[in-house]
Amino acid sequence: MAVDTSPRSTTWTHVDGEWLPGNPPLIGPTSHAMWLGSTVFDGARWFDGIAPDLGLHCQRINRSALAMGLKPVKSAEEIAALAWEGVAKFDGATAIYIKPMYWGEHGAPGSVVSVDADSTRFALCLFEAPMGGHGGTSLTVSPYRRPSPETAMTEAKTGSLYPNSGRMIAEARSRGFDNALVRDLNGNVVETASSNVFMVKDGVVMTPAANRTFLAGITRARVIGLLRQAGFDVHEATLSVEDFMQADEIFTTGNYSKVVGVTRLDDRNLQEGPVTRKALELYMDWAHGRSESEE
């Protein structure tokens, strides 16, 4: 039986100058992206009439493309304008995920493994995706690790990194947890399998230092800045699993769900604490207080 390839929510994709509904067939079996993984993407959010940090996400997709050896064919401003055009196609009742993408269609002359930058293609996909994270999340320490820049394309937001995240989540869920706390090759905590992570101890907020093994996210940077502006002591530091086991609070940040409290880490139960609630409040107040045009 053929697999149903229709999307699971209302979806519009802009490609080659037109908007197409559903899940248009864009990548064939000879495409470099399908065969050898030359894909990069980014993700912004629209909700409540706003798209926080949309411009920064559109800038990052172009940086990811260059890191992958692709050639950006749209400016960040053009991508953002297309995103707002796409948002207008929805009824506004449900939050939207905004996903710009680049991929390579052919291998470079003389080496099929390396991508031909001149074959770069672009698409912008928007789909309905309710905001998640309500009620908190549970974490377990993953047996799998994040690669270093010497071993993987860690400086791009590329699809080729996500199978590793997928197996982390699958392994965690097989043991009754929602997600995984992930270490680098040196054994230091860097993030979860799908988001950045913070901890609070004695009122001090800490998050793993950006060491190029993980994506130090746009929402992460926004939350750090907002907490500091509100008077919190926030440090980027080298952190161990034991540091997190002794934390008073743990929360995650990411574009998909913004700020989410952690209610369990392995055999330790936690509460969604005051700093976690304040981080979410500060983020939402900032997001609703400034339009994209004012950034």
* pLDDT tens per residue, range 258-269: 999 999 999 999
Residues 6+ apart with CB under 8 A from 160: 37, 39, 152, 153
Predicted confidence at residue 132, as pLDDT, reads 78
pLDDT of residue 293 exceeding 60, the answer is no
To the nearest whole percent, how much of the chain has pLDDT over 90?
A: 95
Token look-up 């559109």 returns 58
CA gap 34, 13 in Å, rounded:
18
Query: How do 44-46 and 96-104 pair as beta strands?
Result: antiparallel
Phi, psi of 191 (to 5 degrees): -175, -170
CA gap 165, 292 in Å, rounded:
31
Predicted confidence at residue 223, as pLDDT, reads 98
Name the E strands within the chain: 11-15, 18-21, 39-41, 44-46, 96-104, 107-108, 111-115, 120-128, 137-145, 179-183, 189-192, 196-201, 204-208, 234-237, 249-254, 258-265, 268-269
To the nearest whole percent, how much of the chain has pLDDT over 70?
A: 98
* pLDDT tens per residue, range 228-278: 999 999 999 999 999 999 999 999 999 989 999 999 999 999 999 999 999
* pLDDT tens per residue, range 137-164: 999 999 999 999 999 999 999 999 999 9
- CA-nearest of 19, 122, 41, 18 to 10 is 19
CA gap 26, 123 in Å, rounded:
9
